Every structure is written in structure tokens, then in C-alpha cells.
Structure 1
């Protein structure tokens, strides 16, 4: 014979088990919402011509000679990353703003930078990647291959705005992106529908911008060879 108290205990146990199962299902669903795209053929990502290299799309980007704004963002591990601490290492920073882990061209660019990291390190240059992805999404990008330099999360766009690289999706484009399986809200965890134009900034150890590039063409990025050439020309 089951007493009323025992019945209540069994009921609470069933509810708890069901709740935990539901929570686990939600957690798994959340983990599987974001998937990294396949990398495109490298030939599909063009490099700017020599006269385009080091130019800024109208209305975008910090100019050469401006001071890098201070920021505090999060690494893909969730730990804070302060601009002052990045500069304290005495290296030149190569700040790369990318659209997000959902962008195949961004992932190709990240792979190329990762594969060439030793050449940047020899020149005492530290690449720093920044996107509007939230921490979990930034960690997903990191999981494709081990990235040996900072991957920073800026879903509230504080650094994006300070560097003047924010691009906004129209409601129509947002729906178009969703039709391709890209929901920028899931990647950023925000509803602002904004991310960065493809851009790069060289910042010296004193915090001054020495070179800048920003393009509205997301398929066009400075190649590693071009970036190394710019770095060498700064010396």
C-alpha cells in the first residue's frame, strides 16, 4: 500500500526526472543550433588590388593616426580581454573584425591567419579577432582548429562601434539570411541584426592606428602576403 506521502515523493521524482530530461533536450538543441559552414574554395575570396589595399569604405573605420579606443571584451573562454593588456605585451596588434562564425569567408580568412601565425609572430605582430558572436559561438569557431591568438566576443558591439565598423541588416536581408540557414540572432544572442564589415587595423604598441582597411565586399579580404607586406613596410 502506497501512502499519500510516498505518492507525493514519487510524483515529485517523476516531475524532476522529466524536467531534467527536458532541460537536457533543450541544452542539446541549443548546442546543435549553430554549425560552422563549409570553407569555400580559396580562389573565391579575392584580395584587394594594390590601389584598394589600405583604404576605407566611406563612413567606416578608424583613420591612420587615430588612437585605438580602449575596450574590455570576452575571450572565447569567457575570460575578459582588455585592450590595455593586449598592448602591454609590446607587440603590434593586427585587429581583424569578421562578420561571424556563420560566414564561410571569415572562416577561410581565420584559417589562413592561423596557418601563417608564425610569420606574424616573427614580426612581433599579434592578430586579434573580433566578431559580434557571443562567447559560445566564438568558442565554436575556435573548435574548428586551434587558433593561437585571441578570439574576442563583442555581441553588444562596443568595440565595433568604437572602430566604426558596424553593418546593419535590413529586415528583408535578415529574412533572406535566415532562408540560407543563417540566423544572426542565434550567433550573437542579440536582436540588433548587426555585425562587422570585413576590416583590419594595425595598431602599434602605443595604441596608434598605423594602417587600416575596411571593405563592404565581404568576399574581399587582404591576403596574408599583403598583410605581411604592409607590416614589413611599416618598419
Structure 2
């Protein structure tokens, strides 16, 4: 970490705290780890799936699209990710506006049910969150990637143990991405960015639902 900081311009050295340096370094590592993924494109058929959410509710994408104008499907890394929590909180804060336009919101994550509960405690999320244990949904939307061993070790040094967070040894994370699926079953909106700090704004989602 010190070697990275040593190569930064002087003005960045002065302004980067250890927390900011973690974010800066982790951002570079995650972008590199996710290079192979490209995500599904706008206009493509959305993969349908069935699952059970954190509240034990059966989720059937096909049926949801029969009773809702759209489904907002987003992928997040875990309760340890401040950018994920901020995005989830923004969605929750605007949930009435989103549902008022006929949308059903679903979050998908590799983290364990226990950690999903921690996410809910931090964000007060009241929409469906699905633990994608076998990465079936992440793979269908082409957002899954395996974190390199060197990156796993760095995260552990920063007190982020993916094996504990996800309950396995796979080290799989999603590229944080957001899709809007319309009633025809097609993807009408995509926000896919390998820089995990960038997320779909609520404004952009509301504009899509107009």
C-alpha cells in the first residue's frame, strides 16, 4: 500500500486518508479483476429466473412482469461495501417513487443471509434481496467475476474476508450493475461500470420508468 501511495502526486498524498487510499487501491484492483465481464446490453432479452428472497417470498420474474410495469434488478457486493450501502439507501429512500411508477425492485448479492440482514440494518431496505448462492443470476446477466488471490489477501488485510461474507471459498463478486426490464421481458436500461464506485442514479431510473 505504501508503494502505491509513494507513486501518487503530491496533492493526492496530502488529501488521501487511509480510508480514501483503501478505496482508491481497491477500485483499481476490482476494475482489473472484472475486465472479462461486459454485462447484457439494452434491448436484449432479460434472463428470467425464480428464487426466494430474504423474507422467504417466492420471486418469479415472469409473473412480476405480468403485474408490474418493470423490474429494477441490481447487483451489489455486500454489506462491507460503503458504495453498495449508499446505493441501496438511495433506492430505499426513493422506493415509493419507483413503485409508484409500477416498478418492482430486486437486489442480488453473493453475501450470506446473515450479511443480507446486516445490509438491511444499515440501509433499512424493504425490497426483495436475493442471495445468489450458485451465481446463477449473476452468470445469466454476465456480471460475475472471480477475485484474484492477491486481491483476496489485500481485502483480508483490510478486514474484508470474502470467505466469511459469502460463506464459501469461491471469491466471486458481481460487477455492480443495474437493469430495468420492461413488460415485454426486454432490458430497457443498463448501468454497467467496472468501477464499482459508479452506480445508477435514482433520477435515471425514474426517467426510464416514465
Q: Structure 1 unaligned segments of length 5 or more: list them.
A: 1-39, 45-56
State the Cα distance separating 1:148 from its structure 2 match. 2.7
Larger Rg: 1
Matched, 1:207 2:185: yes
Deviations 1:112-143 (A, max 9, x none): 11001111122111221111112222122122
Partner of 2:51: 73
CA contact (8 A) 1:92 1:125 kept: yes
Matched, 1:99 2:69: no
Alignment of structure 1 residues 74-89 onto 2, 5 Å: 74-89=52-67
2:98 aligned counterpart, secondary structure: helix
Aligned pairs, number: 179
Task: Give TM-score scaled by structure 2 length.
Answer: 0.77
Q: Structure 2 unaligned segments of length 5 or more: list them.
A: 1-18, 24-34
Task: Give TM-score scaled by structure 1 length.
Answer: 0.70
97, 100, 122: which one aligns with 1:144: 122
1:210 aligned counterpart, secondary structure: strand
148, 152, 166: which one aligns with 1:188: 166
Deviations 1:60-100 (A, max 9, x none): 21122222112233311344423233323223011111111
2:99 aligned counterpart, secondary structure: helix
What is the RMSD of the two structures over their aligned residues, measured on CA atoms?
2.2
